[in-house]
Chains A and B, each alone.
Chain A
Amino acid sequence: MEEEFQPEYGPRWSDQRVEWMLGALVLAMVALLLALIVTVFVNGWPSFAHNGLSWFGPGGNVDDQLSEISQSAETGAGYVYTFHAWPLIWSTILICGGAVVLSLFTALFISVFLIEFAPTWMSNILRPVVRFLASVPSVIYGLLGVLVLVPFIGNHLITEEQKSSVAGIISLTGYSLMAAVLILTVMIAPLMVSIFTDALASVKAGWLEGSLALGVNRWRTIWKIGVRAARPAIVAGTVLALARAIGESVMLAMISGSTAFAPNPADGLIFIYEPSRPLAPTIVKSIDQLSSPPAKATLFAIAAFLLFSAAMFSLVGWATRRAMSRYGAP
């Protein structure tokens, strides 16, 4: 109300001033992002510099390396940086890749169902369900996984022969690749569903009707026309889910098992019962060692790797989306 009484030549909320203020805020935001990127890479640099390309390669036990790194700060005999992250990277690839493939499959079917086939009562139930699953905190998923799914896998799915066959190498208790992938799928599939349904709903009705008028049935129409037209959004949703999966730390720290072991698919189907630990949970698990400089450098190197790969996925997704939307998608 008070603004009405301001003289016209000197308003308190002058246009110029507001624009500058908001512009400064925006610049601060951009600067903060740059600071974040620079900080993470600068802090992680010693670890990369000491290991070179072998940072990404295999070799040795990662857990032993990590404890040596964090203890080297106290002995006074110089910092140790030796770190070969391949088991962690491999575990990230397996868990996130598995979960994203599974949830892409699931999310596509569910969004097609929601948009085209579900009766009203069903979609009235399913939509809130999807929103609910997307908003359940990751610790709750982790807790349920640790107290329900992990014991179930450990007691009922893994046989005694399987346990004894790898007894000398690793103990199979139920903390496994399988538990991690399943729960991660439930976590990220709703995210994809919400993006996919938006995209499918915005496909031009004329295109679908054209296909129906040619005598193609509804199932084939929605897959051949609807899903195909919505491809850019499907790529976008998948990339977003992938970034989320890579950054998921707490749930995986609870479920995937706490040894840095690299399950080998060549060993047969047993590898899905083997524990492993991806990159992000490694940071959570060793966050207490942050006070030792070499451990700090190692953790920031992991963070830099995560940041870099998330950025790369966004970039690839953006490029694919652009290339695809040239052909008249929504």
Chain B
Amino acid sequence: MAQSTGDQHSTVEQQAELETGFPGGVVPPEQGNQPPTKAVEGSSTWSLIDRIGLAFCWFLGLLFCAIAAAIVIYLLIQGIQYLKLDQLTTPAASGFTEGETGGFSDAFIGTLILGVAVGLWHGLWVWLVEYGRPRPLARMTELTIEAIAGIPSIVLALFGTVIFTSTALGFLSRTSEGVVFGRSFFAASSMLALEALPLVVASTREGLNAIPRHVREASYAVGKTKAATTRRILLPTARPQIATGGMLGLGRIIGDTAIILVLLGATQNFAPVEGAPFPLDYLRGAGTSLTNFVYEASPTGNLNQPEKAYAAAFVLLMLVLALNAGTDLVHRRAKRVGTWSH
């Protein structure tokens, strides 16, 4: 630097020295007309409280990562330790050795029935976005969906007990001497489908709303009806979002316990109804699921076998992780293909 010649210059010089010497020192923020770079901002305008806040942000972010890692690693260790392959294939027996066969078949069957229901829910949003004609009805539907999203699942389960123990619906579960049992795969999966509805619907709506207006107009212009446009153009275009919604709903269903506990559980085995044709006897009977098994095998449940609970929880967590990965894949592909990006 040039030698100082006057008072004015020397103060500037000192200031510069101060600045280089103490990057965190007290420097007025107005440093001429250069654009605010990160270095300037990071050193001078951040007060102590701001810095503590940012450090707290980092701490919380790392804490979240640590919690997630702890859950996965802990269950991985415990799961591999206690999980035996024969637990996945042998049914639960009364007595000392309890397996968990029910889990997969249950999730699978519930999923199949859900598949039908998911189709119906998609129909709901198609109507809402594409038709929605008497406006009040459309508003009411939106409110209904929001309301269902807010209903606690245990309330849905209680509602299910009322519906499915009525004599009119006795054919959906076990009946003995006129008393309807009310616990069956039919009962549980229909209430679970209701629980998954808001997720599915929101995702489909997002997909349909993202399709620009001119696509519809082009289809109408060549003489297609609204129904044909929806079926041939809009639904195929929104397919990734529809798939995402379905998978989100599936994740919710796999993880739910309250409804299964009330509408399906009470046993760790399949209890098919005698005398019914093949798929129906299982669907009408009570059963179990992984979540139910974990609940019952935990120290607060009836079985109290923590090792088995760890093994089942591990399998459950793997299912959830696989579903997450699948959702991610679909979502990413949808973004990459991204036909209607704006």
Contact = CB atoms under 8 A, between A and B. Distances in A.
A98 B155 CA distance: 23
Contact of A243 (B64, B127, B152, B300): B152
Interface stretch (B84-92, B207-215, B234-242, B316-324): B316-324
Given A110-B57, A283-B158, A19 B64 contact: no
Contacts of B146: 314
A39 interface: yes
B151 A310 contact: yes
B101 interface: no
A25 B123 contact: yes
Contacts of A114: 61
B298 A117 contact: no
A26 B128 contact: yes
Interface residues of B, number: 82
B227 A14 contact: yes
B317 A140 contact: yes
A247 B257 CA distance: 12
B162 interface: yes
Interface stretch (A51-59, A68-76, A164-172, A211-219): A211-219
B162 A19 contact: no
Interface in A116-132: 117-118, 122, 125-126, 128-132
Given A33-B147, A110-B60, A217-B41, A250 B258 contact: yes
A278 B198 CA distance: 26
B57 A117 contact: yes
The residue among A36, A117, A130 with the most chain B CB atoms within 10 A of its own CB is A36
A110 B300 CA distance: 33
Contacts of B120: 25
A157 interface: no
Nearest to A251: B257
B150 A310 contact: yes
A125 B158 contact: no
Contacts of B231: 13
B154 A280 contact: yes
A43 interface: yes
B50 A313 contact: no
Contacts of A215: 29-30, 36, 45
A207 interface: no
A217 B50 contact: yes
Interface of A: 3, 11, 13-15, 17-19, 21-23, 25-27, 29-30, 32-33, 36, 39-40, 43, 106, 109-110, 112-114, 117-118, 122, 125-126, 128-133, 135-140, 142-144, 146-148, 186, 189, 212, 215-220, 240, 243, 246-250, 253-254, 258, 280, 283-284, 287, 290, 299-300, 303, 306-307, 310-311, 313-314
8 smallest CB-CB distances across A and B, nearest first, come from A247-B152, A137-B255, A22-B127, A113-B57, A18-B227, A250-B257, A217-B45, A219-B50
11 contacts: A26-B128, A36-B159, A40-B159, A109-B60, A133-B64, A133-B71, A139-B291, A140-B313, A147-B299, A218-B41, A311-B150
